[in-house]
Structure formats: C-alpha cells, structure tokens
Chains A and B, each alone.
Chain A
Amino acid sequence: MKLSLAPLQYFWPREHTLAFYRAAAAWPVDIVYLGETVCSKRRELGLRDWLSLAHELTDAGKQVVLSTLALIEAESELGVLRRQVENGRFLVEANDLSAVQLCRERGLPFVGGPTLNIYNHHALALLMEDGLCRWVPGVEQGRALLRELRDALQAQGGRMPELELMAWGRMPLAYSARCFTARALDVPKDQCGFRCIEHADGMPLATREGDPFLTINGIQIQSAEVVDLAPERDDLLACGVDVLRLYPQADGMAEVVAHFRQMLAAPTAPPPRAARNGYWHGQPGRHELALPE
C-alpha cells in the first residue's frame, strides 16, 4: 500500500504552510494532494504558490495531485478551478461535479474525491468512463459497502480503479454555505477577517455536558476525534485498498507518517493511536455510540 498526504483542511499562515510541505518532501509519503478544498477566501497561498510547491514535491519524488474546492458558488471560484484543470502537468482531484465535467470536457484523467457521493459500482463505472483513475470514497463508505461494490464491478467485467481510503485525521462530515467559524466569532462571513487562521486544527465544539463532539473549520464540520485505521491494516489490504490517506494536522504529522510507513512493513497491525472509525465497521461514525459487534 502507498501513503498519501490529504489536502490541508485548515487555514495556516503562509510560512507555516510552506514549511509544512517543505518538510513533507522528506517524509515517506508517495502522493501529496495540494490546494484549498474548503474555503476560497483563504488566500495565503494562491494557485501559483501551490504549483510551485507541486514542482518542488515532484522533484522530491512525490506524485502531486491538485485538489479542487468541494463547494463552488462563485464565478471566480470556477475560474480557479479551470486554471487548476488546465495546469498542463499535474493530476487533479475532482471534489464536485463541476471539476468532473471540466476534466471530462478536456479528456483529462482525474482522482474522484471524497465529496463526489459514489456509493455503488455503476456510478463508479460511469465516472471511470469520464476519466476517473483513482477513487477516494467519503467517510460513510465502510468495509461491507466497498466489498459489495468491488464484487459487483468485477461480476460485470469491470476493474476497480486505484482505491484510496482516509486512514488518519478528523473526519470531514458536512459542508455549508455558512461559515461556522465566523458565526462562532460573531462576525459576518463577508468580513470574517480570515479568523480561522487562528485555529490551526479547527475550533472544538462540545455538547452541553462537555463531551467533545465536532470540530468547526470554516464552512466545514469535522469530527472532534482523530480516527486511526492503522489497526485495520490487514482488513484494508484484503479489501484491495491501494492508498492510505493521512490528513494534515498542526503538530506531529511527521511522526504520524513515520508510524504508518513502519506499520505497513511490520509483521502485525499496530494497536490504535487514536479513535476507531465506526463507519468502517458499518456503525455510527462515532465509534463510542456503536452497538457492540
């Protein structure tokens, strides 16, 4: 199995982001996804900066993929998307149907991102006709669903594309037109002051009993807990997972990558370092709410 670094979900100061990716050049990951997928107002790095990082990381031996915005609302955002698709060199991760269509119209291959809502083999086969060459399912698609999908695809003579699964990080759960960070700070979205830059791992949201529940990250909502699929290594292999996707976090990412690289070569799967992902087992994503299997 290969390892990938997922697109950065948070908004970090420019120098922080550049330093992160320059360090990542020396980490044992095979694939690096670059670009802003959450909020188009986050402009510490522009497309030119991302492309320059893409060249540096390619020179360091990584496969680089440019990730597109999950929710596109404005013409200006479509313009950025068009420039990403027409970059001329790097593969694109399509995170909505606009990106799929722009790739399809140009005959370009693409990675199908986690917000495309692919739940069955027929939808996957249609997108493969359109140019999908690797698929990153969303958080809901667990073990049983993926197995059934693979069997159904093979039964009709199809072949799975490369399969990449989220293996580390806070689970992306929802997107909105509203910015929840701005709402929490009581500032209008149009004058948000880019305050999410102050929350390198998002803002924690807890229940009224103080139970950590969700993470606010601009227009995106994530789980509070980091999930870790490393303990399921053998199961992941049996399911034909080709790439494990690790989501960047503010601290300790080098160790996370090293841990995953090590565990891939170890004789047995490692014990959990973070929360269990209930979805993988066909349960509520929040594992502690699951019934015993």
Chain B
Amino acid sequence: MTPAVRESSITGGPVRESLMQLVCPAGNLPALRAAIDAGADAVYAGFRDQTNARAFPGLNFDGDELSQGIAYAHARGRKVYLALNTYPDSARLPYWRTAVDQAAALGADAIIAAEMAVLDHAARRHPQLARHLSVQGSATTAAALRYAHERFGISLAVLPRVLSIQQVERLCETAPVPLEVFAFGSLCIMVEGRCQLSSYVTGVSPNRHGVCSPAKFVRWDEHPDRSRSVRLNGLLIDRFADGEPAGYPTVCKGRYRVGGEVFHALEEPTSLNTLDILPRLAQAGVVALKIEGRQRGAAYVSAVTRTWRAAIDRYRVSPQQWKSESAWQQALAAHAEGQQTTLGPYHRAWH
C-alpha cells in the first residue's frame, strides 16, 4: 500500500505517485451499482440497523442485498467495504460482533470500524478481513494511529475532517498506515465521533444509534406570512422567509442568537470539496479519497463519482498539466448541500 516514489521532472524533488483509490457511498443497491458503473474503486455500505453511522429509515442493506452488491462489485474488479462504525454498549455488543461475522461471511473486502471492542473482535476472529479505522475513531496523530495499528492491526485509517492540508501532508509521512481522506460531501463541522449535539436534543446519538438529527424528531411549521420554522424535538433550529432555501435541520447548521446577532453560529449548510487540492493530496501520499453521502440517491452517487473518476484519471495520466476544470466544479456544485462548497479545514483561513 506504500505509494511509489519517483523523481519529479519539474522540481527535481521526490514526488509520490499516488495510486489514489476513489471510495464512494452506497445507501442501497441502485446507488452501489451506480457508483461501480461510474468508476468507483471501492464502495462503502452499511447494514440496515444501528451498526453504522447512517442508520436512516429506508436506507442500507440486508444480507441478501449486500451479497448481490458484493458480487456486482467483485465481478468488475472493485471492492466493497462495510461500515460498522458506531459504538455499541455492553448489552448490544453481541449484535455488533455478529455483524462483523456476517461481513466476513459475505466476503466484504474490509470493515470500517471505530469502536475498540468491534475492532478487537474482528482482529481476533477474522484476521484475514481488512480493518479500516473509521473517521468516527477521531484519530488525528501518528501516535493515535499507532495505537489502532498495534492494538487492532488496522491497515488503513480515515482521517477526521479537522486537519489542514499541511497537517495531512505531515501525517502521511509519520503514520504507520496509509491514509484515506474525505474529498467531497456534506461537512460535519464537529470532530466525528465527538459530537453530542443531536443526542443532547433528541436522546438519539450518532455514536450510539448511528443517526444525527433523526427525521422523526423534525417538525416543519408554515406560518401565515408563508415563512417556515423547523424544530428538532420541539427546539427551534431555524426560520426561513418565504422562498428562502432550507436544508435538512441538523443542530450544527441552524441559526442562533449570539451576542445580539442571529447567524449560522456553528456552520452554514455547505459541502466539502477538495477538487482544487487533488494534486496536493496525491503528492502527500494519501491513498484513498472518500465521497460522503450514503443518504443520497443514485443520481448524486453517479454524478459525483463520474466527476472524481475523471479528475483522478486525468491526474494519473498527466500530473504536471492537471488543473481543475469548470465542468467538474459545476457538476459537483449542483450536488452540494446549499449549492455551495468549501475546502473546509484543509484551508487554514476557513477556521
């Protein structure tokens, strides 16, 4: 998995020729097929329960569907990773262990996990099944990654969306395992695995139950002036004037009053988009780019995967001439939350 190193003809310095994999989301079988058809190297998916961090109603896979998805991917030389990245309590731990066993039996190429007992079970019972440290594991340093590597034999880690590009570059040099980073999709403003905002309001927790801001707690009200308000378990998250665009109400993307002003005090509805720094991520030695969005449909998956496939392939063929194309950016912006994108934490000024 170590990236090959060659001399750059332009700078004379070493450039790590990346074998960057494109890892795409699938919330159901049509999305999985769409991702594979559009050029994903790997697809990640979850079971239809609380063992993964996108436990939304109507989403995800049962054993049969996953089996079909894996067959579809393997027939085309691609991989399927299974996200088992929530945190079971003691009473429910056997259920998560069974899910790991099932992932191994179905022939998944890796599990993506964050919780120690889940990783430990996988390492002991299924040593041949690759273990990726999930973004939910909140590992941001070489020391933290050494822990997961020595303790659970992880072969890859997904970085939380908190590090700057300089910090990612440095970590690629010191990490004991290859690194995957988020390239595109909805942006969690908080450190993944370290956010209790949803459970503070609803009692349902992303860590424990795999869902942020569950739909059953969301209530929209339309008022006589045609404005709308949205509440989560009764708590006002935001109000929208007639015609004002309104996204899905997570606590972090609401508008609040701080010091006499009302604004998006935590984060605006926006998507992460790292297309502009693709060469830098490749040169840093990042081995995989992850697209967020298992809750999105096949059309999103197809369009976003196709765009990133084209961008990565272009880079592979002619890294020195690579530049971000406006057609790519337009395609991505069309699928971005709030139709706007940001480089997010990769760019220091964003903070």
Of B89, B148, B193, B348, most A-chain CB atoms within 10 Å = B89
Residue with the highest number of chain A CB atoms closer than 10 Å, among B114, B148, B151, B262:
B151
Once A126-B151, A286-B201 are accepted as A-B contacts, the answer to whether A183 and B265 lie under 8 Å apart by CB is yes
Q: How far apart are the CA atoms of A58 and B144 in the complex, in Å?
A: 30
A212, B351: Cα distance in complex, Å:
25
Q: Does B5 contact A (CB under 8 A)?
A: no
Asked if residues B191 and A175 are in contact (CB atoms below 8 Å), the reply is yes
Residues of B contacting A188 in the complex (Cβ-Cβ under 8 angstroms): 349, 351
**In the complex, A221 Cα to B208 Cα: how many Å?**
19
Question: How far does the Cβ of A150 sit from chain B's closest Cβ, in whole Å?
Answer: 9
**CA–CA, A182 to B266, complex, Å?**
11
Which stretch of B102-110, B228-236, B321-329 is in the interface?
Answer: B228-236
Tell me the minimal C-beta distance from A89 to chain B in angstroms: 22
Query: How far does the alpha carbon of A183 sit from the alpha carbon of B259 in the complex, in Å?
Result: 12
Residue A231 CB within 8 A of the other chain: no
Complex alpha-carbon distance, A151 and B90, angstroms: 9
Say which one of B26-34, B43-51, B115-123 lies at the interface with A.
B115-123
Q: In the complex, A174 Cα to B258 Cα: how many Å?
A: 17
B143 surroundings in chain A (CB, below 8 A): 78, 81, 97-98, 101-102
* In the complex with contacts A73-B140, A171-B200, A97-B148 CB distance below 8 A: yes
A293 interface residue per 8 A CB criterion? no
B93 part of interface (Cβ distance < 8 Å): yes
A117 to B87, CA, bound (A): 8
- How far, in angstroms, from A108 to B263 measured CA to CA in the complex? 46
Chain B interface bracket (under 10, 10 to 19, 20 to 34, 35 or more)? 35 or more
Cα-based distance from A223 to B87 in the complex (angstroms): 22
| B201→A284 contact, CB < 8 A | yes
- In whole angstroms, how far apart are the Cα atoms of A283 and B205 in the complex? 11
A127–B116 CB distance below 8 A: yes
**CB-CB contacts below 8 Å: B204-228 with A:** 205, 207-208
Q: A140-B199, A178-B351 are in contact. Are A205 and B258 (CB under 8 A)?
A: yes
Q: In the complex, what residue of chain B is closest to A189 when comparing beta carbons?
A: B351
Task: Determine if B194 is an interface residue (Cβ-Cβ < 8 Å).
Answer: yes
A188-B347 Cα distance, complex, nearest whole Å: 12
| Contact (Cβ within 8 A) B233 A208 | no
- A interface residues, how many (CB within 8 angstroms): 73
Q: Are B203 and A205 in contact (CB under 8 A)?
A: no
**With A100-B147, A122-B116, A176-B162 as contacts: A208 and B238 at CB distance below 8 Å:** yes
* Closest chain A CB from B229 CB (angstroms): 8
Q: Which A residues touch B237, using CB under 8 A? A: 207
Contacting pair B207 A177 (CB below 8 A): no
Is A190 on the interface with B (CB-CB < 8 A)? yes
Q: Are A177 and B162 in contact (CB under 8 A)?
A: yes
Closest CB in chain B relative to A99 CB, distance in Å:
8
CB-contact partner of B144 in A74, A96, A204, A284, under 8 A: A96
For the complex, what is the distance from the CA of A117 to the CA of B208, rounded to whole Å? 10
* Contacts A73-B167, A96-B144, A148-B89; A177 near B191 (Cβ below 8 A): yes
Q: Of all chain B residues, which has the CB nearest A125?
A: B117
Binary contact track B244-269/A, C-beta < 8 Å → 1, others 0? 00000000101111110010011100
Closest to A102 in B: B143
Interface positions, chain A 84-101, Cβ under 8 Å from B, are 96-98, 100-101
Does B91 make an interface contact (CB < 8 A)?
Answer: yes
Q: Which of B117-168 contact A (CB under 8 A)?
A: 117, 120, 137-141, 143-144, 146-148, 151, 161-164, 167
Given A177-B161, A189-B351: A290 in contact with B203 (beta carbons within 8 A): yes
Smallest CB separation, A111 vs chain B (Å)? 17
Residues of chain B within 8 A (CB-CB) of A207 are 235-237, 254, 256-257
Q: Which residue of A lies closest to B204 (CB)?
A: A284
Q: Please, what's the 1-or-0 string for A166-209, where 1 marks a CB less than 8 Å from any CB in chain B?
A: 00000101111111101110001110000000000001111111
User: Can you sample 28 A-B contacts with CB below 8 Å?
Assistant: A73-B163, A75-B170, A78-B141, A97-B144, A98-B144, A119-B88, A120-B89, A120-B117, A126-B120, A139-B196, A140-B205, A151-B90, A152-B90, A173-B200, A177-B345, A177-B351, A178-B267, A180-B266, A188-B349, A203-B259, A205-B258, A207-B257, A213-B235, A213-B256, A283-B203, A284-B199, A286-B201, A289-B234
Show the binding face of B for A, using Cβ within 8 Å: 87-91, 93, 114-117, 120, 137-141, 143-144, 146-148, 151, 161-164, 167, 170, 189-191, 193-197, 199-203, 205, 207-208, 233-239, 252, 254-259, 262, 265-267, 345, 348-351
